[in-house]
Structure 1
Amino acid sequence: MDFSLSDEQLQLRDAVQRFCEHEYPAASRGVPDAPARMDERWRLMADMGLLGLPFSAGHGGSELSAVDVMIVMEGLGRALACEPYCSTVVLAGGLVAAAGTPAQADALLPAVVRGERRLAIALDEPGARYDPLPLAAKAMRDGDGYRLDGRKTLVFDGDAADTLIVAARTSGAPGDRDGVTLFLVDATARGVDLHAYPTLDGRRAADFRFTDVRVPADRVLGEAGGGLALVEAALDRGIAALCAEAVGALDALLELTVDYVKVRKQFGVALASFQALQHRLVDMLIACEQARAMAGVAAMAVDGGDAAERARLVSAAKVQVGNAARLVTREAIQMHGAMGMTDECKVGHYAKRLLVIGQSFGDVRHHLRRFGQEALA
C-alpha cells in the first residue's frame, strides 16, 4: 500500500494543524470548554470546509476520501478537540450520504456542512456490549408511519444533536440480521427523553428513552428491515476515524514524554541520558508508527468495496491502535511519575481520551474475535 500523502493532503494537514494550534492552546487542552466556545469553533470548521469533506459537491461538500478525513481526525486528536466531528460528519452524516433519499440528504447534509445542524447515531442498548444485533427497540407500523419505543445508551454527543439516527427492529427477533431499520428522529420530538452526562475524557454522551414516538414513513433511512449492513459500514467508518484520532493523541503523548525526560533530572543528569529510558522511548515511537500505518490501512479499507475485507482490516487497526495506546500511555505516565495523572499535566488527559477511544465501538478483545471470524469466513 502507498501511505504517502499527495500535495493537496499535505496542505490539508498543515491547515488543520494551524487551526488546532490557534484554537486549542496547549495549556488548555483537555479542559472542557464552554458551549459558546465550542459553537464558535464549529462554525470555524464549517468556514474552513472541514465539515463537508466527505460529502458531495451538490450538498456543499468536497467529495474527499476517508484518508482525508483521517488527516483531520489525527489533527483533532493531537489537540484533544472535543467537537462532535466523528459523531456528526463521519458516523451519522456518512449514513445519510450513503442511504438517504435525495430529499433526506438535501434536508440534512447542506445544514451539516454549514455547521447549522448536528447529528448523532443511537445504536447501543443496555447490556448489548458492542453488538448491535440484540436489538430490543421496536418500531411498529402505525398508519402511514411508525411508533418507536425503546432505550439507547451511550450516544456520543447526543445532547448536542438536532437529529438522531435510531436503529430499531421492525420485524424478526433479537439476534436476527434482518428486520433492522434506521429512523431519522428529531431530538426534541414528543416522547423522546434525554439523560446527558460527562464521559471519562470530559466529553458528553446521553441515554435516550423513546416512548410512543411517532415517526413518518419518509423518515426511514434506507430500506426498511435492511439497516444492519448500513450500521456495520457506518461503525467501520467511525472506528477508522477514531483510530486516526488516537494516532494524533499518541503522537502528542510521545512528544510530551520526550520533552519531559530531556529536562527532568535525576542524580544530576537528565532522564533522557539513561539508556533504559531511551529504549522505552523507542518502543513508544515504534508503537506510534505501527498505529499510524494501521490507521491508514483502515481508512483505505473504508473506501474499498469489499465489506468483509473492510471489517477485517478495520478490526485489525482497532486492535493495533488499542495495544499501542496501552503501551504508550503506560510508559508516558510512568516516566512522568505521579504527576502524570494530575489535571495539571496533559498526559492524564490524553490517557483518558485514549482509554475512551479504546472502549468505543469494541475493545481489543472484541475486535480480535471479530478479526478471527472474518478471517475464517
Structure 2
Amino acid sequence: MTAATQTRPQAGDAGAANRAKRNLTIAKAMAEAIAQEMRQDPAVLVMGEDIGRLGGVFGNTRGLIEEFGPERIRDTPISETAFIGGAVGMAAVGMKPIVELMFVDFFGVCMDAIYNLAAKNCYFSGGQMPLPMVIMTSCGGGYSDAGQHSQCLYGTFAHLPGLKVVVPSNAFDAKGLLLAAIRDPNPVIYMFHKALQGMGWLGTVKGAITDVPEDDYVLPIGRAAVVRPGRDVTLVGFGNTLHHALDAAGDLAGEGIEAEVIDLRSIVPLDRETILASVRRTGRLVVVDDDYQSFGVSAEIIATATEGAFSALKAAPRRVAFPDIPIPFSPALERPLMPDAAKVAAAGRLACKER
C-alpha cells in the first residue's frame, strides 16, 4: 500500500484544468456525496435527529429532504438505540442506511447495536450477512460543551474488530471517503470534527475548505497521505490534528527543521506502511491526537513505529494528546489542555535535539 502525495487533485488530473474550482466546506461536501449516492442507489437512506428540515445540526444533510423526501431522509425520535438498531436491521436485508449519531459522546446508549450487532454480524454469519451501513458522528472540543459533548473517542471504535473508522481533514477527502464508506459492505464509523465542518457558529480551520470536484470519486479507506514531505521528523495527524501538524511544520521550517506530515485519513484500516516508510526516512516521530492520551490511536502508531522501524529511530517517539481527565466546561481549563501547533512544534523540536 502506498501513500498519496497530497489530498487534492493534481493539476495534471484528467479534467482538472478544464473546470472551475469549487471550494466547499466539509459539511457541503458530505451533503453532496450523500445526494449523489442516493440518486444512483435507491437502497441508500439517511436517519437521525434533526437531519430533515433542519439539515442536521452540523449541516451534513442540508437540502436533501427537499430532493428525496421524508421517506429517505428520516427524522427520528431522540433514541439512538432505536434508530441505530433499526439501521442494523435495514443493512441486514440489503438497504444501505446512513445514520447520524449527533455527538460521538452518545455512543453509550447504542453501543450494543454498534458492536454486538453491526460489527460482528458479518463474522458470525460466515460472510453471508454483510452490513453496509455508515454511522457519521461529530467529535472534538473547544466549545465549552463539557465532557458530555466534547470527546473524540477514536480509539474506542478503532479497538473493536469489524468496524472501519475514517476521519477526514478536508472537504475533498470528506466527499471521497464518504462515498467509499457508503459503498463498503462493512459498517463504517465516519467521524467529522466540529472545528472543520464549516458551520459559522463553530468557526472553521481554513485548511479544511478545499476544492471539491462535482464528479464521483472515491478515496480508498485505509490509505494515508503524505501532505508535506520532510527529512528530519515525522508528524502524524488526522482530522483536526492534521492542521496542527501542518502549522507546526511551517513553524519548524523557519528553524531549519524539515518535518514530514502524514494525514492518516483512516484509523481502521491503519496505513502502517506509510508511517513506517516515513519514520525510516526521518528517524523521529511525533503523533498528534485530540483523543485521550492513554490506550489510543497515538499509542498504536508509536507501537507500529517501534515494532517495525526500531533500528531507524534516532529519538524516542512522542505524542501530543488530551490528558486522561474528563473534558472541562470552563474555557480557561479546557483550552490549555487541547493539542495545538505550538505543542506539536515543541515536541518536534525536542525530538530533533536527540541525535
TM exceeding 0.5: no
Structure with max Cα Rg: 1
Specify which structure has the higher proportion of helix: 1
TM-score, normalising length: structure 1: 0.28
